Amino acid sequence: MNFDDHPHRRFNPLSGEWVLVSPHRTKRPWQGQQEEPDRATLPEYDEGCYLCPGNERAGGAVNPHYDETFVFTNDFAALLPEGPDFHDNDHHLLRAEPETGVCRVICYSPRHDLNMARLGVERVKKVVDVWCREFKELGSRADIGYVQIFENRGAIMGCSNPHPHGQIWATSNMPMLPAAEDQRQLAHLQERDECLLCCYLKRELDGGERLVLENDSFAVLVPFWATWPFETMVLPKAHMGSIVEMDEKQRGDLADALVRLGSRYDNLFQTSFPYSMGIHQQPTDGGEHPHWHWHMHFYPPLLRSRSVKKFMVGFEMMAMPQRDLTPEAAAVRLRDLSEIHYLETV
């Protein structure tokens, strides 16, 4: 089947949802502005930044003079560790129940001016180590059922501070999207006696048309069912339910993959590429979850330039997600980019 010329829909086995692909629409003439590379630079330290070392945060706390990574409990957390015990179910359509948890912020580096792509493998490896430490600590708590590690980069993704940082929200219950993946992976294992993502990764490595990059331990690819224009998944080649199962070599390889992907993203439109990134892994309820294969999602909104973005509106909000650029074409664009960051070439 030639996917390049005909509208079709693709199935996402992780979520059970479909996405409409309309590749013929990319043949429309593009008369958008031609943009120069974004070479605006930030200071290494910003006295007005509430994440820089030694600065006061909005809640009044003062950051230590950290020199690597720094983790703190969010001053304006969306979740609280304690709450009233209630189940308001007086009508079957009006249900509410408590949700408790912990929200933490991870500053990747004291440098205000560097994003993940420019931190370098050694410093990103320290971020990976923090992810593993925090997941193990929070996941061991009896009141935590799931640990969601994520990063929003760029103002368009709701991130108002460019200082390199991510977040962790640890919840008492498993959130909706990881729960859907949990059910789909479990069903696949029960029906076919094999891991869903192990099976999928083998097909992608054999074909290679959606592969962006790989190293000894990880593959980065544009999923067959991708919704966002340059969406990617980072998949460990070994079957692992969570990030704490990685050894030192695999942690270093993950850092390598993230830096190389980040450089490609920034080079695509020569800007600090906005995205939402999240790590999906097994719940922390103390049970056995052999069906889980942990992975990372990158959801970037940029479509044709840093001025042209994709939004979920109209048909996509009311019916189903839709994309014009095929995942195969997106993979080629990303795969052909240099891994030398454009700001390092001047």
Average pLDDT by stretches of 10, the chain with 346 residues: 83 96 70 70 95 95 97 93 80 88 97 96 98 98 97 90 96 97 98 98 97 98 97 98 98 98 96 96 96 98 87 90 93 96 85
Bridge partners of 277? 151, 298
| Residue 219 placed within a domain | yes
CATH number (domain holding residue 298):
3.30.428.10
| Residue 16 placed within a domain | no
Residue 34 pLDDT: 61
| Residue 12 placed within a domain | no
- Contact, 46 vs 52, CB < 8 A? yes
Residue 241 pLDDT: 98
How buried is residue 244: exposed, middle or buried, by Cβ count under 10 Å (0-12/13-18/19+)?
middle
Question: Is 295 known to be catalytic?
Answer: no
Phi, psi values for residue 67, rounded to 5°: -120, 0
Domain containing 177: what range? 39-339
Residue 346 pLDDT: 61
What's the structural domain count of the chain?
Answer: 1
| Residue 132 placed within a domain | yes
Residue 1 pLDDT: 64
Residue 286 pLDDT: 93
**Pick the catalytic residue: 112, 165, 293, 295?**
165
| Residue 197 placed within a domain | yes
| Residue 34 placed within a domain | no
| Residue 18 placed within a domain | no
